Amino acid sequence: MEFIQEVIANNLAQIRKTRGLSLDKVAELTGVSKAMLAQIENGKSNPTVTTLWKIANGLQVSFSAFLKETEKPQIEKININQLNPLIDDDGNYLVYSVFPFHPEKKFEIFTVDLKPGFSHKSEKHLGEEYVLIQRGTLTLDVQGEKFELNTDETIKFNANTEHIYINSSDELVRFYLIISYPD
């Protein structure tokens, strides 16, 4: 099977299955025979441009929907110890950008280390923050209301207000910070 034939076969099958359509129903919608559709999906037939247009019109998808290569799942493994942190407060607040913001995903993930006896005041910003404590005890001050968070505890809040991360202990606090942005 040629590469383009495989791409068309996979895309047609995916569109049909995603919509829960049988080959009979697709044949009815497109005017292309069930046998021809099965051959295309199985990579045994290289459809003509005219046939692809019939299928695209019948399924109400763009012509190029059959030509795009499907993305293979990407796996990305990250070791925090190999990342360079952003450093604030004289090295007492370290932020590791684990998964940076991407406009299609609308969130970013950080690991944060807050050294013993220090605090960090965060400016208000867009989005919602999700804080997950990996180790230590963190006090979070959101507009004067204080929340004590221990290992394996989480909190979420609207970040459009002043908030302060406080480590009153004598141990390092490490937490994961997810910031989700509105549409």
Share of the chain above pLDDT 90, in %: 56
Please check whether residues 85 and 160 belong to one and the same domain: yes
Q: What is the CATH number of the domain that holds 60?
A: 1.10.260.40
Task: Report, in this order, helix, strand and coil percent for the chain, each rounded to 5.
Answer: 30, 30, 40
Residue numbers of the domain that contains 34 = 3-66
Please check whether residues 96 and 151 belong to one and the same domain: yes
The answer to whether position 71 is within a domain reads no
- The helix (run of H) or strand (run of E) holding residue 120 is strand 119-122
67 confidence band (pLDDT: 50, 70, 90): confident
72 confidence band (pLDDT: 50, 70, 90): low
The answer to whether position 75 is within a domain reads no
Token pair listed for 108: 């970013």
Please check whether residues 90 and 175 belong to one and the same domain: yes
The answer to whether position 73 is within a domain reads no
Q: How far apart are CA 89 and CA 38, in angstroms?
A: 64
The answer to whether position 72 is within a domain reads no
Q: Is 54 in contact with 30 (CB distance < 8 Å)?
A: yes
The answer to whether position 158 is within a domain reads yes
pLDDT at 1 > cutoff 70: no
Please check whether residues 20 and 98 belong to one and the same domain: no
Supply the pLDDT for residue 68. 78
Please check whether residues 94 and 46 belong to one and the same domain: no
Please check whether residues 114 and 165 belong to one and the same domain: yes
Q: Is 109 in contact with 178 (CB distance < 8 Å)?
A: yes
pLDDT at 7 > cutoff 90: no
Single out the residue in 35, 66, 97 at which a domain terminates: 66
How would you classify the pairing of strands 145-149 and 119-122? unpaired
Please check whether residues 85 and 175 belong to one and the same domain: yes
The answer to whether position 134 is within a domain reads yes
Q: Is 2 helix (H, G, I), strand (E, B) or coil?
A: coil
Instruction: Note if the pTM is more than 0.85.
Output: no
Supply the pLDDT for residue 123. 84
Of 71, 11, 77, residue with least CA distance to 47: 11
Please check whether residues 49 and 88 belong to one and the same domain: no
Share the mean pLDDT of the chain. Answer: 89
The answer to whether position 166 is within a domain reads yes
The answer to whether position 111 is within a domain reads yes
- Which residues have CB under 8 Å from 167's CB, separation 6+? 114, 115, 116, 117, 118, 119, 136, 137, 138, 139, 173
71 confidence band (pLDDT: 50, 70, 90): low
pLDDT at 158 > cutoff 80: yes
Please check whether residues 38 and 87 belong to one and the same domain: no
Please check whether residues 124 and 42 belong to one and the same domain: no
The number of distinct structural domains making up the chain is 2
Single out the residue in 17, 39, 66 at which a domain terminates: 66
pLDDT digits (tens, 9 = 90+) for 47-59: 887 898 889 889 9
